[in-house]
Structure 1
Amino acid sequence: MSSRSVAGTEAMEALGRELGARLRAGDLVVLTGPLGAGKTTLTRGIGAALNVRGPITSPTFVLARTHPALGDGPDLVHVDAYRLGNAMELDDLDIDYESSVVVAEWGRGLIESESASGSWLEVVIARPEGAGDAFDPEDAPEEPRTVTITGYGPRWEGMQW
């Protein structure tokens, strides 16, 4: 487990690029954090590192969005699990976990079992109390977030962030 302070959207996207550079097909990243914390911004950086077709936007209304690779790398599947009630609803999305990088917002406790390798990353983004309480996360102030990355399973054993 590793924690760091991330100040602003550019730094969050840069962290996503750093993380994305380490990801490969079959990897699962579970993002946890309140509305406006920066989950989609982090995913945008991951998508840039993976060189996938964009733009990367929140998949809230479509539940899952696949961004095809523009080169030889894996596709990115960006999932918003907030409105999913159980694993059966997740299965209905027919996600290709083995040949894609899957990033799941709001997926804690629901999607980890889908990891084919038994490994996944959990990224928890915390923001100061009261920050970004506006309905539109884009109106949230640029306050530092604390990002904690924890690796689970053999794929991430000993990985330093």
Structure 2
Amino acid sequence: MIVARKVLVTAESCTAGKLAHLISEVPGAAKVLEGGFVVYSKQAKMRLLGVQRQIIADFTTVSEAVARAMVANALERSGADLAIALTGVTGSEPDENGNPLGRLHVTAGLPDGSRIHRHCEFGSLSPDVLTHAALQMALLSALELLGRPKTGTSPSPRRT
């Protein structure tokens, strides 16, 4: 499958920039990687990416709503053709809102509003394993979104 070249931006919380770093190691990455937002804290999500305080209050930072807002705002602020957002709990304990270790929300999106979202519950694995799983889900989501037929087929339930 040949995928048209897209300019990519990342919006990372739980992976703290590792996705952008991983992509940057691929030969030719400078042609497609616009940059990345590392928004580890609530304040960074609001200040750097413009995630609305009410969304965080209503859903917590580890939620589909926040991942989708991260994608939308990263696309808007960067002008990129593709954004990938990750938010989750990949450390060694649940977060301050009670989100359990291993909970992950990944959204990949295009400026036309096309989105793929994944909600994963990996459980109590080591931080390295959880981060690796998050990176795999992010790349898989982006590839699936870019490979999605433009017309003629209905999306599967996880595609939105």
Same fold (TM > 0.5): no
- Structure with the larger helix share: 2
Question: Could you tell me the TM-score, scaled by structure 2's length?
Answer: 0.37
- Structure with the larger strand share: 1
Question: Could you tell me the TM-score, scaled by structure 1's length?
Answer: 0.36
Flag the structure with more relative contact order, 1 or 2, with Cα contacts below 8 A and sequence separation at least 6.
1
